[in-house]
Amino acid sequence: MIKTEARTVYWTVTVYDRYGSAHRSTALHASAARHHHEFWSSKPSTARVGFTEHTLVQARAITTFADLPGSGERTPLPNLPAGAYEVKRFFRFTRALSDGSLTGFGPAVLCTGDDVRYFYEWTVQTQGHAHAVHVDVSTLRILDITLTHYTRDVRLADLPDDCTISLVGGLETGGLGWISSHEKAGPCLRVPLADASEVTISGTPVDERGDSSGHAKAVPGGWLAVRDGAVEVYRSPRKVHTRAADTAALAAAVLKRARQHRGGPVLRDEPRQPLA
């Protein structure tokens, strides 16, 4: 079964005052969370400011009617993964286009197998109506979607800087997903590719190639991107004009390598009908 994942990360800020009350913000971008901290930490009434990182992971896979929960059955949930706060599972229809790509069709959330079967039967029965949404029902596929919500308390120093946010945004705009990970060498981003290979992006405070004298040369805030732990995709040059320019060059190099490996994992049509 082909499965793809997409993730969304946001932060909430909790302000604890000296009188025992706590006030929590709504979902925030990392830079907005830092601004909240700057504003509230200077207030005499503030005892402390806390941060919570939220990660929503949506996994999607094509399924069939035969694999749906039976009549009258609730949709079973997967086991709650370590570190997860909540997990949800639901279904929706998608339409297979001629090039194998998929586009959404119908309600965004169908909670049970009964909901899926009812909507499909209703769609088939109303095709002859003048005001129906006409569709070739043979192109309809069923998506099995799991949404997992992870939370963890973090410090101000753990919030990504603007360049990291720009990097992630550039990867997502280019159709690439990413996974935040903590390896022995420190935090990194893992970028899965369509051919099952992976690019790992990490900070590189020291240029290990060294300078002309043979001594290692520090590159503050530099980047290193490696495919499958062996093939270097990008390393920050010794002379970096700005971190923003360095980050833009990193994103371009990763996107170029991704295109050579058919891009990121994309859920595409499978050669079967919903009733198979």
Residue 69 has pLDDT above 70, yes or no: yes
Residue 274 has pLDDT above 60, yes or no: no
Distance between terminal CA atoms of the chain?
14
Mean residue pLDDT of the chain comes to 85
Give the pLDDT mean for 133-157: 93
Q: Which two tokens stand for residue 88?
A: 């949800």
List the 231-235 sheet strands across, edge first: 179-183, 186-192, 198-203, 223-227, 231-235
Per-residue pLDDT at 79: 92
Give the pLDDT mean for 68-78: 95
Across 72-81, 101-110, 214-223, 229-238, least confident range: 214-223
Per-residue pLDDT at 172: 83
Give the pLDDT mean for 258-265: 79
Report whether 136 contacts 94 (CB < 8 A).
no
Q: What one-character DSSP code corresponds to residue 196?
A: S
Q: Determine the residue type at 69.
A: P
- Give the Cα separation of 135 and 171 in Å (integer): 33
- Give the Cα separation of 116 and 152 in Å (integer): 34
Higher pLDDT, 68 or 213: 68
- Give the Cα separation of 16 and 172 in Å (integer): 35
